[in-house]
Amino acid sequence: MTFRKKGTKNPPVLSQEFILQNHADLVACVGMFFVLGLMFEGTAEVSIVFITLQHGVTFPAEEAEERATAPKFLYHYGAKDLATVFFYMLVAIIIHATIQEYVLDRINRRMQFPKPKQSKFNESGQFSVFFLVSCIWGTFILHSENCLSDLSVLWRAHPNNMMTFQMKFFYISQLAYWFHAFPELYFQRIKPQDLSQQVVYVGLHLFHIAGAYLLYLNHLGLLLLMMHYFVEFLSHFCDLFYFSDEKYQKEFSLWAIVFILGRLVTLIVSVITVGFHLAGGQNGNSDGTAEDVNVLAAKIAVLSSSCTIQAYITWNLFNVQLQRWMEEDAPLQAPSVKKKRTKGRFSRKGTENGVATSSRVDSPHMRKEKSS
C-alpha cells in the first residue's frame, strides 16, 4: 500500500527524506501490528486496549429497564484511553495521507498553484473534510441523545458521570485527530515561521476538547464544538474557492459575518450554561460528587478558557483579513511606482540644472538649421 509517489532516485533507508515520503506506509505497518495482535490469544488482551474503548460499565438488566432511555453500557475515562487515542492517531495519519495523495495533490497538479498557495490549499482541504465529517457526526449524536429537543441535558449531569459509547468514541476520535496534527507538522514540512501559530491552534483545540472530556461536560462541549466546527468549515471552504479564483472575495466577507455571529453565540451559550445553570445545579442535587464542575474554580476556568479562545480566533480573523488586503493592494501599487521611476528618468534626461533642454541627439531639422 503506497500513499506517496516515489521519485526517480530512492533516498537512503531511514533517512529524513525516506521517512517523509513513506510515513503513511510506516504508520500503517505499526497499526497492523495491533490489528494482527487480535489473532493470537497471548496478545489479544493488549491489542484490545488500543483498538476498543475501555473503562466500560455494564448495568444490571433491572436497572437498565428503569431507565428506558439509558444504554446498557456506559463509559467513563481512565488511563487506558491514552492507548486508544494513540491507535486512532495512527489511523488519522493514514487517512490524512490518503486524502492528500488521491484528492488534493491531483487538484494541485491540475490547477498549478504556486507553492505558497499550494500549502494553504492543502491545509484548507484537509480541515474542510474533517470539519464537515465532525459536524455531521456530532449533530447525529446531539439528535440521538435528545440534546436539541431538551436543552437541559447541557447542564444536567449524566447518572454516575458516565458517557455513552458514541459520545466517548467521538471525543477519542477528536483527541486522536488533533494529536496527529503534531507529527503532521513535520511530515508536511511546515515553515519555521508558521510553526508557532500552528502549534497554538492545535494546542487550543486539544485543551478545550480534553477539558470537556475530563470534566464530563460532554453535551455542552459537543454543542460548542459543532458551532465552532461549522464556522471553521465555512472558513476553509471559502478559502478553497478563494485560492482557485480571487474573485470570490465577497464570499470571504460573508463568512466573516457568520464568523462573528458564531463567536457571539458560543460565548452566550457558555455563559448561560456554565455561569447560571451549573451554578444552580448543585443546589438541586444533594450529592456534591455528581457534577465535577460545580466548584467555583472549575466554573471560572471554563468561562475564562472559552472567552480566551474566542478572542484568539477573532484576532486571527483580523490578521488574515488585513494580510489579504495588503496582498490585493500590492499589485496595484507596483505599476504606479514603476511609472514614477520611469517618469523620473525621462525628466532627468530633458533637464540640466533645473532648466529644460533638448535631447542630446538633434533631429535632422535642427541640424539643417544649425548648418545654415
Does the pTM of the predicted model rise above 0.85? no
How far, in Å, are 141, 148, 163, 186 from residue 57 at the CA level?
A: 20, 26, 10, 39
8 Å CB contact between 49 and 84: yes
8 Å CB contact between 84 and 53: yes
pLDDT tens-digit map of 99-158: 999 999 999 888 888 877 888 889 999 999 999 999 999 999 999 988 877 777 776 656
8 Å CB contact between 210 and 179: no
DSSP3 helix / strand / coil % (the chain, rounded to 5): 75, 5, 20
8 Å CB contact between 76 and 55: yes
More confident residue, 314 or 61: 314
Q: Please state, as a whole number, how many other Cβ atoms lie within 10 Å of the Cβ of residue 185.
A: 14
Measured CA angle at 370 (ends 367, 371), to 5 deg: 90
Provide CB contacts within 8 A for 356, sequence distance 6+.
Answer: 350
pLDDT tens-digit map of 196-249: 888 988 998 998 899 889 888 888 889 889 988 998 898 888 888 777 665 555
> Please, which contacts does 232-235 make with residues 24 or more away whose CB atoms are closer than 8 Å?
232/127, 232/131, 233/127, 233/128, 233/131, 233/132, 233/135, 234/258, 234/259, 235/259
What is the pLDDT of the chain when averaged over all its residues?
76
pLDDT tens-digit map of 282-334: 554 444 444 445 566 666 777 777 777 777 777 777 777 677 667 666 655 55
**Is the pLDDT confidence value at 28 over 60?**
yes
Report the distance separating Cα 101 and Cα 109, nearest Å. 11
**Is the pLDDT confidence value at 192 over 50?**
yes
